[in-house]
Structure 1
Amino acid sequence: MRVNTVLGNLEDPGWASRQANAKVDYLVLDQWEAQKSRIRRTTEDGVEVALSLDRGVQLRDGDVLAWDEDAGTLVAARINLKDVMEIELAGLLGSAPETVIATCLELGHAVGNQHWPAVVKGTRVYVPLTVDKAVMGSVMKTHAFEGIEYGFRPGAEVIPYLAPHEARRLFGAAAREGEGHTHAVPQG
């Protein structure tokens, strides 16, 4: 089956009622695969799907990829996104500019030193889970940033607010463990 467009989402009222009376088959994708506009995968029920979406189209969990009213079948995307660390900087807004600059530079150094990709949206910084939450929490506690709060949120709650390039940075990079910059010393 070739899919060129997203028909809607299971959360939309019209699709919610169709879903109630249909056999739903899921195309399960990880966070890296969901960023691609061209991919070939098999659904849970064994249907081969070839996605060929326009550039910039970003699949969301529950997107309807195919609908056969006569057969009463529906194919929808199920996107498995990792959690993200959400760092809230709003507590810095009343601080002196020098304090804001110093704190943000220190935060950037701490995140960058761990090679964690990050996306800034307003006063929030989103960092994908590339290691255990306890490790990421430990890094934040070690630095004891004043005026900064952090916590963890499901990626599915964050992705609707991201542009496609930001989603790729957050979820695509995190899915490719072992790729990217390292501090290995060259042999020779």
Structure 2
Amino acid sequence: MVEQIREIAETYLGNLTKDADLAQRVKSARTLDNYLEIYLSQTDSGKGRIQAQSTSGTIVGIIKNRDWSLSEGDVFITQSGKLLLIHLQEERLMVLSFTEPVENYAIELVHLGHVLGNHHWPIIIKKNKIYIQLIIDAPIIEETIAKFKIPGLKIDYESCSPQENFHFSHHSHNI
């Protein structure tokens, strides 16, 4: 078994899209091969402990508070002094919309919202659409939604870039 190099990053330096000096520092580190780059799912960006593989194959552990989410362009420094650049991947979302009026289905819609919440499936409502973050396999969510038999309920999928500002809150029962 080949042992992989591991790095730990827990010191946040800032975001290169907002800090020109940091952007220059990242550029220099890249030239000197003192640099790592990782691509994370948007779901992982809010976690406190993240393990990912860099583009060069190095296993990286990121330790941060869970009260904030990583953004495209965030930079950490690892314990060995390498700069770590964060990229966020596009995310596929389930989108619920309605092709018919839903005024007569208020109870069913409230029940649907309750069930989605009980499953801890993060949702956002924007412009008369319900966006569901796919934290589990889509067919499971589709099957759950189909049980409500709401006329005109349409299920589609959209890709969401990290810049589109879909910040799902991750609910917990911790007090």
Relative to the length of structure 2, the TM-score reads: 0.54
User: CA separation in 2, counterparts of 1:116 and 1:37?
Assistant: 18
Q: CA deviation at 1:56?
A: 0.9
User: CA separation in 2, counterparts of 1:156 and 1:40?
Assistant: 22
2:9 to 2, 8, 14: 2
CA contact (8 A) 2:72 2:87 kept: yes
User: CA separation in 2, counterparts of 1:21 and 1:41?
Assistant: 23
Indicate the residue corresponding to 2:5 in structure 1: none
Indicate the residue corresponding to 1:143 in structure 2: 149
Identity, % of aligned positions: 15
User: CA separation in 2, counterparts of 1:83 and 1:35?
Assistant: 17
1:34 paired with 2:45, answer yes
CA contact (8 A) 2:94 2:158 kept: yes
3-state SS in 2 of match to 1:126: strand
The aligned length equals 154
3-state SS in 1 of match to 2:69: coil
Q: Output the amino acid matched with 2:94.
A: M
Indicate the residue corresponding to 1:172 in structure 2: none
Q: Output the amino acid matched with 1:131.
A: D
Q: Output the amino acid matched with 1:76.
A: L
Deviations 1:110-164 (A, max 9, x none): 8689x6824243543222333357x839x65x93633x5543122545873325x
2:125 to 121, 126, 132: 121
3-state SS in 2 of match to 1:83: strand
1:83 paired with 2:92, answer yes
Q: Comparing both structures, which one devotes a greater share of its residues to helix? A: 1
Consecutive unaligned residues in structure 1, runs of 5 or more: 68-72, 170-188
Indicate the residue corresponding to 2:109 in structure 1: 104
CA contact (8 A) 1:88 1:125 kept: yes
RMSD of aligned alpha carbons: 4.7
Relative to the length of structure 1, the TM-score reads: 0.52
Deviations 1:22-73 (A, max 9, x none): 6363123345543322345553335564433234121134322349xxxxx8
